[in-house]
Structure 1
Protein backbone atom coordinates (compact mmCIF):
# COMPACT_ATOMS: atom_id res chain seq x y z
CA UNK A 1 0.00 0.00 0.00
CA UNK A 2 2.73 2.45 0.90
CA UNK A 3 4.48 1.61 -2.40
CA UNK A 4 1.37 2.69 -4.28
CA UNK A 5 1.38 6.03 -2.41
CA UNK A 6 5.09 6.57 -3.09
CA UNK A 7 4.61 5.87 -6.80
CA UNK A 8 1.61 8.25 -6.89
CA UNK A 9 3.63 11.00 -5.18
CA UNK A 10 6.56 10.47 -7.54
CA UNK A 11 4.31 10.59 -10.61
CA UNK A 12 2.65 13.75 -9.29
CA UNK A 13 6.02 15.39 -8.68
CA UNK A 14 7.25 14.43 -12.15
CA UNK A 15 4.08 15.83 -13.71
CA UNK A 16 4.43 19.08 -11.71
CA UNK A 17 8.09 19.46 -12.76
CA UNK A 18 7.25 18.89 -16.44
CA UNK A 19 4.41 21.42 -16.28
CA UNK A 20 6.61 24.00 -14.51
CA UNK A 21 9.37 23.49 -17.10
CA UNK A 22 6.89 23.89 -19.98
CA UNK A 23 5.47 27.09 -18.44
CA UNK A 24 8.96 28.51 -17.95
CA UNK A 25 9.76 27.89 -21.59
CA UNK A 26 6.51 29.55 -22.73
CA UNK A 27 7.00 32.71 -20.63
CA UNK A 28 8.86 35.44 -22.50
CA UNK A 29 12.23 36.40 -21.09
CA UNK A 30 12.32 39.60 -19.05
CA UNK A 31 13.25 42.50 -21.29
CA UNK A 32 16.22 44.62 -20.31
CA UNK A 33 17.00 48.14 -21.43
CA UNK A 34 20.47 49.62 -21.97
CA UNK A 35 20.40 53.34 -21.20
CA UNK A 36 22.74 56.29 -21.00
CA UNK A 37 22.08 59.64 -19.35
CA UNK A 38 24.33 62.68 -19.78
CA UNK A 39 24.03 65.70 -17.49
CA UNK A 40 24.66 68.96 -19.37
CA UNK A 41 25.02 72.31 -17.57
CA UNK A 42 25.23 75.52 -19.62
CA UNK A 43 26.13 73.47 -22.72
CA UNK A 44 28.93 71.42 -21.09
CA UNK A 45 28.61 67.76 -20.12
CA UNK A 46 29.36 67.56 -16.38
CA UNK A 47 28.35 63.99 -15.52
CA UNK A 48 27.15 60.72 -17.05
CA UNK A 49 25.25 57.64 -15.91
CA UNK A 50 24.59 54.35 -17.71
CA UNK A 51 23.19 50.94 -17.00
CA UNK A 52 21.18 47.95 -18.06
CA UNK A 53 17.89 47.63 -16.19
CA UNK A 54 15.07 45.11 -16.47
CA UNK A 55 11.65 46.49 -17.45
CA UNK A 56 9.67 47.07 -14.27
CA UNK A 57 12.79 47.37 -12.10
CA UNK A 58 14.62 50.51 -10.97
CA UNK A 59 18.27 51.44 -10.69
CA UNK A 60 19.50 54.24 -8.43
CA UNK A 61 22.99 55.75 -8.67
CA UNK A 62 24.52 58.61 -6.72
CA UNK A 63 27.54 60.65 -7.81
CA UNK A 64 29.44 63.06 -5.55
CA UNK A 65 31.57 65.96 -6.74
CA UNK A 66 33.08 68.01 -3.93
CA UNK A 67 34.02 71.55 -4.96
CA UNK A 68 36.20 73.84 -2.82
CA UNK A 69 36.24 77.60 -3.44
CA UNK A 70 38.73 80.23 -2.39
CA UNK A 71 36.97 82.45 0.14
CA UNK A 72 37.63 85.35 2.46
CA UNK A 73 39.85 88.40 2.04
CA UNK A 74 42.98 86.24 1.85
CA UNK A 75 41.51 84.00 -0.88
CA UNK A 76 42.02 80.90 1.29
CA UNK A 77 40.61 77.51 0.28
CA UNK A 78 37.35 76.82 2.06
CA UNK A 79 33.62 76.67 1.55
CA UNK A 80 33.43 73.11 0.22
CA UNK A 81 30.16 72.01 -1.37
CA UNK A 82 29.20 68.41 -2.19
CA UNK A 83 27.45 68.61 -5.55
CA UNK A 84 25.44 65.45 -4.97
CA UNK A 85 23.43 63.95 -7.83
CA UNK A 86 21.07 60.97 -7.38
CA UNK A 87 19.16 59.44 -10.29
CA UNK A 88 16.66 56.60 -10.34
CA UNK A 89 15.91 55.17 -13.78
CA UNK A 90 13.13 52.65 -14.34
CA UNK A 91 12.14 51.29 -17.75
CA UNK A 92 8.34 51.05 -17.97
CA UNK A 93 8.02 49.63 -21.49
CA UNK A 94 10.40 48.58 -24.22
CA UNK A 95 10.06 47.58 -27.85
CA UNK A 96 12.31 47.44 -30.88
CA UNK A 97 11.28 51.02 -31.77
CA UNK A 98 11.12 52.88 -28.42
CA UNK A 99 11.67 52.74 -24.70
CA UNK A 100 9.65 54.53 -22.01
CA UNK A 101 11.55 55.45 -18.82
CA UNK A 102 10.58 56.93 -15.49
CA UNK A 103 13.35 59.18 -14.15
CA UNK A 104 13.63 60.65 -10.66
CA UNK A 105 16.42 63.15 -10.03
CA UNK A 106 17.76 65.03 -7.03
CA UNK A 107 20.66 67.41 -7.47
CA UNK A 108 22.68 69.90 -5.52
CA UNK A 109 23.91 72.67 -7.81
CA UNK A 110 25.71 75.94 -7.14
CA UNK A 111 23.96 79.27 -7.47
CA UNK A 112 25.78 81.24 -10.17
CA UNK A 113 27.60 84.50 -9.56
CA UNK A 114 30.31 85.60 -7.21
CA UNK A 115 29.22 86.89 -3.81
CA UNK A 116 31.16 89.15 -1.47
CA UNK A 117 30.89 90.56 2.02
CA UNK A 118 30.39 94.29 2.56
CA UNK A 119 34.16 94.65 2.83
CA UNK A 120 34.80 92.87 -0.49
CA UNK A 121 35.80 89.43 0.81
CA UNK A 122 34.74 86.42 -1.27
CA UNK A 123 31.91 84.15 -0.12
CA UNK A 124 31.34 80.62 -1.44
CA UNK A 125 28.45 80.03 -3.84
CA UNK A 126 25.25 78.88 -2.19
CA UNK A 127 24.09 75.32 -2.84
CA UNK A 128 20.63 74.83 -4.32
CA UNK A 129 18.63 71.59 -4.24
CA UNK A 130 16.76 70.64 -7.40
CA UNK A 131 14.30 67.75 -7.65
CA UNK A 132 12.69 66.60 -10.89
CA UNK A 133 10.55 63.69 -11.97
CA UNK A 134 9.56 62.47 -15.42
CA UNK A 135 6.79 59.84 -15.28
CA UNK A 136 7.26 58.56 -18.83
CA UNK A 137 10.06 59.83 -21.05
CA UNK A 138 9.71 58.16 -24.47
CA UNK A 139 13.04 57.54 -26.17
CA UNK A 140 13.14 56.35 -29.80
CA UNK A 141 15.45 53.32 -30.06
CA UNK A 142 19.09 54.41 -30.08
CA UNK A 143 18.36 58.15 -30.35
CA UNK A 144 19.13 60.97 -27.93
CA UNK A 145 16.23 62.80 -26.26
CA UNK A 146 16.65 65.90 -24.09
CA UNK A 147 14.78 66.77 -20.91
CA UNK A 148 15.31 70.25 -19.45
CA UNK A 149 15.51 70.22 -15.65
CA UNK A 150 16.45 73.90 -15.05
CA UNK A 151 16.04 76.41 -17.88
CA UNK A 152 18.42 79.14 -16.60
CA UNK A 153 21.01 80.17 -13.99
CA UNK A 154 22.45 77.58 -14.80
CA UNK A 155 20.68 75.56 -17.50
CA UNK A 156 20.54 71.88 -16.61
CA UNK A 157 19.55 69.36 -19.27
CA UNK A 158 19.53 65.57 -19.28
CA UNK A 159 20.31 63.81 -22.56
CA UNK A 160 18.95 60.27 -22.56
CA UNK A 161 19.52 57.38 -24.97
CA UNK A 162 18.00 53.89 -24.60
CA UNK A 163 17.37 50.66 -26.47
CA UNK A 164 16.50 47.04 -25.82
CA UNK A 165 19.48 45.14 -24.47
CA UNK A 166 20.69 42.31 -26.67
CA UNK A 167 19.92 38.92 -25.20
CA UNK A 168 22.85 36.46 -24.88
Structure 2
Protein backbone atom coordinates (compact mmCIF):
# COMPACT_ATOMS: atom_id res chain seq x y z
CA UNK A 1 0.00 0.00 0.00
CA UNK A 2 2.97 2.30 -0.53
CA UNK A 3 1.30 4.60 -3.06
CA UNK A 4 -1.87 4.89 -0.98
CA UNK A 5 0.10 5.70 2.15
CA UNK A 6 2.19 8.27 0.29
CA UNK A 7 -0.96 9.84 -1.14
CA UNK A 8 -2.49 9.97 2.34
CA UNK A 9 0.59 11.72 3.61
CA UNK A 10 0.51 14.30 0.78
CA UNK A 11 -3.21 14.86 1.33
CA UNK A 12 -2.68 15.44 5.04
CA UNK A 13 0.23 17.76 4.34
CA UNK A 14 -1.88 19.85 2.01
CA UNK A 15 -4.85 19.96 4.39
CA UNK A 16 -2.59 20.97 7.29
CA UNK A 17 -1.11 23.72 5.14
CA UNK A 18 -4.61 24.90 4.14
CA UNK A 19 -5.63 25.09 7.81
CA UNK A 20 -2.41 26.87 8.85
CA UNK A 21 -2.00 29.34 5.97
CA UNK A 22 -5.37 29.31 4.24
CA UNK A 23 -6.59 27.48 1.17
CA UNK A 24 -5.41 30.10 -1.30
CA UNK A 25 -1.79 30.02 -0.08
CA UNK A 26 -1.77 26.23 0.14
CA UNK A 27 -3.01 26.01 -3.44
CA UNK A 28 -0.49 28.59 -4.64
CA UNK A 29 2.32 26.51 -3.16
CA UNK A 30 1.24 23.70 -5.52
CA UNK A 31 0.90 26.08 -8.49
CA UNK A 32 -2.86 25.57 -8.30
CA UNK A 33 -3.82 29.10 -7.27
CA UNK A 34 -6.47 29.26 -10.01
CA UNK A 35 -8.52 26.75 -7.98
CA UNK A 36 -8.83 29.09 -4.99
CA UNK A 37 -12.46 29.81 -4.15
CA UNK A 38 -13.74 26.88 -6.19
CA UNK A 39 -15.93 24.14 -4.66
CA UNK A 40 -13.91 21.61 -2.69
CA UNK A 41 -14.69 18.80 -5.17
CA UNK A 42 -13.17 20.84 -8.01
CA UNK A 43 -10.13 21.70 -5.89
CA UNK A 44 -9.55 18.07 -4.98
CA UNK A 45 -9.98 16.96 -8.61
CA UNK A 46 -7.41 19.58 -9.59
CA UNK A 47 -5.06 18.21 -6.92
CA UNK A 48 -5.36 14.61 -8.11
CA UNK A 49 -1.97 14.56 -9.81
CA UNK A 50 -0.30 16.05 -6.73
CA UNK A 51 -1.90 13.69 -4.22
CA UNK A 52 -1.77 10.63 -6.51
CA UNK A 53 0.92 11.03 -9.15
CA UNK A 54 -0.08 9.20 -12.30
CA UNK A 55 1.57 5.86 -12.79
CA UNK A 56 0.91 2.47 -14.16
CA UNK A 57 1.11 0.20 -11.15
CA UNK A 58 -1.88 -1.38 -9.45
CA UNK A 59 -0.86 0.29 -6.20
CA UNK A 60 -0.93 3.73 -7.85
CA UNK A 61 -4.34 2.95 -9.36
CA UNK A 62 -5.65 1.97 -5.93
CA UNK A 63 -4.43 5.27 -4.45
CA UNK A 64 -6.09 7.27 -7.24
CA UNK A 65 -9.35 5.32 -6.98
CA UNK A 66 -9.41 5.90 -3.21
CA UNK A 67 -8.83 9.63 -3.67
CA UNK A 68 -11.64 9.89 -6.25
CA UNK A 69 -13.97 7.99 -3.89
CA UNK A 70 -13.00 10.42 -1.13
CA UNK A 71 -13.95 13.36 -3.33
CA UNK A 72 -17.34 11.75 -3.91
CA UNK A 73 -17.77 11.23 -0.14
CA UNK A 74 -17.02 14.85 0.88
CA UNK A 75 -20.54 16.25 0.46
CA UNK A 76 -22.10 13.35 2.40
CA UNK A 77 -19.62 14.10 5.19
CA UNK A 78 -20.72 17.76 5.20
CA UNK A 79 -17.38 19.05 3.93
CA UNK A 80 -18.08 21.60 1.23
CA UNK A 81 -15.50 24.34 1.79
CA UNK A 82 -11.71 24.22 1.95
CA UNK A 83 -11.43 27.63 3.58
CA UNK A 84 -12.02 27.42 7.31
CA UNK A 85 -11.56 23.66 7.48
CA UNK A 86 -11.63 22.50 11.11
CA UNK A 87 -9.32 19.90 12.66
CA UNK A 88 -12.28 17.52 12.88
CA UNK A 89 -12.99 17.97 9.18
CA UNK A 90 -9.34 17.32 8.31
CA UNK A 91 -9.56 14.13 10.34
CA UNK A 92 -12.78 13.16 8.54
CA UNK A 93 -11.16 13.68 5.13
CA UNK A 94 -8.19 11.54 6.18
CA UNK A 95 -10.48 8.86 7.61
CA UNK A 96 -12.47 8.77 4.35
CA UNK A 97 -9.30 8.50 2.27
CA UNK A 98 -7.72 5.81 4.45
CA UNK A 99 -10.96 3.81 4.50
CA UNK A 100 -11.33 4.02 0.73
CA UNK A 101 -7.66 3.08 0.16
CA UNK A 102 -7.80 0.07 2.45
CA UNK A 103 -11.10 -1.11 0.98
CA UNK A 104 -9.80 -0.71 -2.59
CA UNK A 105 -6.67 -2.69 -1.72
CA UNK A 106 -8.72 -5.48 -0.15
CA UNK A 107 -11.01 -5.59 -3.20
CA UNK A 108 -7.88 -5.96 -5.33
CA UNK A 109 -6.72 -8.80 -3.09
CA UNK A 110 -10.11 -10.47 -3.55
CA UNK A 111 -9.82 -10.05 -7.31
CA UNK A 112 -6.35 -11.59 -7.25
CA UNK A 113 -7.81 -14.51 -5.24
CA UNK A 114 -5.56 -13.76 -2.27
CA UNK A 115 -8.79 -13.62 -0.25
CA UNK A 116 -11.86 -15.67 -1.16
CA UNK A 117 -15.40 -14.32 -0.58
CA UNK A 118 -18.56 -16.39 -0.27
CA UNK A 119 -19.90 -17.65 -3.60
CA UNK A 120 -23.43 -16.37 -2.85
CA UNK A 121 -23.67 -12.77 -4.09
CA UNK A 122 -25.88 -11.64 -1.18
CA UNK A 123 -23.44 -13.06 1.34
CA UNK A 124 -20.53 -11.44 -0.51
CA UNK A 125 -22.35 -8.06 -0.48
CA UNK A 126 -22.96 -8.48 3.25
CA UNK A 127 -19.27 -9.18 3.83
CA UNK A 128 -18.37 -6.09 1.79
CA UNK A 129 -20.73 -3.89 3.84
CA UNK A 130 -19.34 -5.31 7.10
CA UNK A 131 -15.82 -4.77 5.82
CA UNK A 132 -16.40 -1.10 4.97
CA UNK A 133 -18.00 -0.52 8.36
CA UNK A 134 -15.11 -2.28 10.11
CA UNK A 135 -12.47 -0.31 8.22
CA UNK A 136 -14.16 3.04 8.90
CA UNK A 137 -14.45 2.25 12.62
CA UNK A 138 -10.90 0.88 12.78
CA UNK A 139 -9.48 3.98 11.12
CA UNK A 140 -11.40 6.26 13.48
CA UNK A 141 -10.58 4.13 16.54
CA UNK A 142 -6.90 3.93 15.64
CA UNK A 143 -6.65 7.70 15.51
CA UNK A 144 -8.53 8.04 18.80
CA UNK A 145 -6.94 5.14 20.66
CA UNK A 146 -3.41 6.11 19.84
CA UNK A 147 -4.22 9.71 20.78
CA UNK A 148 -2.82 10.69 17.43
CA UNK A 149 -4.05 14.05 16.31
CA UNK A 150 -4.16 14.27 12.54
CA UNK A 151 -1.92 17.32 12.73
CA UNK A 152 0.74 15.14 14.38
CA UNK A 153 0.68 12.45 11.69
CA UNK A 154 4.04 12.42 9.98
CA UNK A 155 4.57 10.56 6.71
CA UNK A 156 6.06 7.62 8.65
CA UNK A 157 3.12 7.51 11.05
CA UNK A 158 0.67 7.60 8.15
CA UNK A 159 2.50 4.62 6.64
CA UNK A 160 2.28 2.69 9.91
CA UNK A 161 -1.30 3.72 10.55
CA UNK A 162 -2.76 2.76 7.15
CA UNK A 163 -0.69 -0.42 7.00
CA UNK A 164 -1.83 -1.52 10.44
CA UNK A 165 -5.54 -1.10 9.71
CA UNK A 166 -5.11 -2.85 6.34
CA UNK A 167 -3.43 -5.83 8.04
CA UNK A 168 -6.28 -6.09 10.58
CA UNK A 169 -8.95 -6.00 7.87
CA UNK A 170 -7.02 -8.48 5.72
CA UNK A 171 -6.78 -10.90 8.64
CA UNK A 172 -10.52 -10.62 9.32
CA UNK A 173 -11.35 -11.32 5.68
CA UNK A 174 -8.90 -14.21 5.55
CA UNK A 175 -10.46 -15.73 8.67
CA UNK A 176 -13.97 -15.28 7.24
CA UNK A 177 -12.84 -16.92 3.98
CA UNK A 178 -11.36 -19.89 5.83
CA UNK A 179 -14.60 -20.26 7.80
CA UNK A 180 -16.57 -20.22 4.55
CA UNK A 181 -14.29 -22.85 2.99
CA UNK A 182 -14.59 -25.10 6.04
CA UNK A 183 -18.40 -24.78 5.97
CA UNK A 184 -18.67 -26.15 2.41
Whether the TM-score (by the shorter chain) exceeds 0.5 is no
Flag the structure with more relative contact order, 1 or 2, with Cα contacts below 8 A and sequence separation at least 6.
Answer: 2
Larger radius of gyration: 1
Higher strand share: 1
Higher helix share: 2
